[in-house]
Amino acid sequence: MSEVERAAERQRRGPRADVQRNRAALLAAAQRHFLMSGVGASLEAIAKEAGVGPATLYRHFPSREALLAAVLQTRADELVARRTAIARLDDAAEALEQWLRAMEDYFSAFSGLPEPLMAAAREHRPDNPLTLPCDLLITATDEYVQSAQRAGHVRTSVRGYDLFLAAVSVAWLKGTGAADAESLDRLRSLLHTGYRRRTGQTQPAG
């Protein structure tokens, strides 16, 4: 069998059986631990729960960010579902608002998630596995913002990146647990009032 044929064979069959098993076990264990203890969960504990040694975890996921990105990938389906629901909306302002909430929920998946996300957004280096999902979200936000701006619902000074940052910040705040649901709602309302383009009429004061 030639080199080429062997490569094709491997592609068809996929990775070795134990590799698939271990990867799945690691992802499941990681999700559980991230949910329980936040993104700072002990990697050794995750490996132990998955029934593998530490080295196997690091071979599959060279860094905490890589593992985090892989776990988040499994959660992206939910975000896609919400995007299709949003796509059915007529109102661009409503679409933007729902998208911001969807992102906020996504960022709140695990406590402490905003930190590594912002690190990825700052470094902006492709070797950080979180950079790609981060960029996708920023781009999507910008599209919603521009669409709402064309419809005259959002002030033109606002950038998509600004609202992305705002959503991450609110998610961070939620993750700290120091804000009750009402405070969070008021904060979102503050932001909403801020980015919305003002219409002529006066809203009820207070």
Partner DNA sequence: TCCGTATCGGAGGCGGCCTCCGTTTTTGTG
Partner DNA sequence: CACAAAAACGGAGGCCGCCTCCGATACGGA
- Which parts of this chain interact with its own copies (CB under 8 A)? 114-115, 118-119, 121-122, 155-159, 161-162, 165-166, 168-170, 172-173, 176-179, 183, 186-187, 189-195, 197-200, 202-203, 205-206
Check: CB of residue 197 under 8 Å from CB of residue 155.
yes
Q: Which residues, 6+ apart, have CB-to-CB distance to 203 below 8 Å? A: none
Task: Please give the residues from 58 up to 97 whose contact with DNA meets the rule CB under 7 A.
Answer: 58-60, 62-64
**Binding of DNA by 111 (CB under 7 A):** no
- Alpha carbon distances (Å) from 54 to 26, 60, 146, 155: 11, 10, 46, 51
110 token code pair: 């695990």
**Binding of DNA by 52 (CB under 7 A):** yes
Q: Which residues, 6+ apart, have CB-to-CB distance to 87 below 8 Å? A: 95
CB of 176 to its own copies, least distance (A): 4
**Binding of DNA by 16 (CB under 7 A):** yes
154 phi, psi to nearest 5 deg: -130, 140
103 touches, from its own copies, DNA, none (C-beta below 5 to 8 Å by class): none
Pick one of 3, 4, 17, 84: the residue that binds DNA (CB under 7 A).
Answer: 17
Check: CB of residue 103 under 8 Å from CB of residue 167.
yes
22 phi, psi to nearest 5 deg: -65, -40
Which residue lies nearer to DNA by CB, 39 or 170? 39
Residues near DNA (CB under 7 A) are 1, 6, 9-10, 13, 15-19, 22, 42-45, 51-56, 58-60, 62-64
